[in-house]
């Protein structure tokens, strides 16, 4: 039970790091909610296609979040997937990191031992100006992927 809480806390930390700044995004050019959503789906599909037998088929429904575009209210979409017991957690995260690096993202990576049951947690957070934020974390027990769209004009309540 403690191990699961620790893994959940560490994975939550990766999500927190990937979401930091969501509340105050200032963009020079305007993007529609449909464009932001479409680009986030593209990034999600691209990274899950790297290990198609690992991740569930399809794209999950997004979670609509509040964000700010200057003084205007905006909407940001989060796409999340989770799997149990990835075959090679390190390779899964390294593959995503290499892909995001090729796409021009700046990466922050983590490789930390947890305990004998969990092994290491491998994680990467990817950022690029004007692009969705992406992160992946994996242990022997579970793997997660998060894609957060850029902040776009719109009311998140329209998507909830």
Q: What is the pLDDT of residues 81-136, one digit of tens each?
A: 999 999 999 999 999 999 999 999 999 999 999 999 898 999 999 999 999 999 99
**Among 27-36, 40-49, 76-85, 148-157, which is the least confidently predicted range?**
27-36
Residue indicated by tokens 């957060």:
148
What domains does the chain contain, in order, with CATH numbers?
Answer: 2-159 (3.30.2030.30)
- Residue 17's contacts (CB-CB under 8 Å, 6 or more residues apart) are 108, 125, 135
């Amino acid at each position: 039970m403690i191990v699961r809480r620790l893994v959940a806390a560490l994975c939550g930390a990766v999500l927190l790091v990937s979401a930091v700044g969501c509340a105050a995004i200032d963009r020079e050019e305007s993007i529609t909610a449909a464009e932001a959503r479409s680009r986030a789906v593209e990034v999600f599909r691209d990274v899950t296609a790297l290990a198609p037998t690992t991740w569930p088929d399809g794209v999950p429904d997004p979670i609509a979040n509040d964000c700010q575009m200057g003084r205007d209210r905006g909407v940001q979409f989060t796409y999340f997937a989770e799997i149990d017991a990835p075959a090679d957690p390190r390779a899964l995260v390294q593959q995503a990191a290499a892909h995001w690096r090729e796409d021009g993202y700046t990466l922050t990576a983590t490789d930390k031992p947890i305990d004998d049951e969990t092994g290491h947690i491998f994680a990467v957070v990817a950022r690029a100006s004007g692009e969705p934020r992406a992160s992946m974390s994996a242990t022997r027990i579970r793997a997660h992927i998060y894609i957060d769209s850029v902040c776009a004009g719109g009311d998140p309540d329209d998507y909830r």
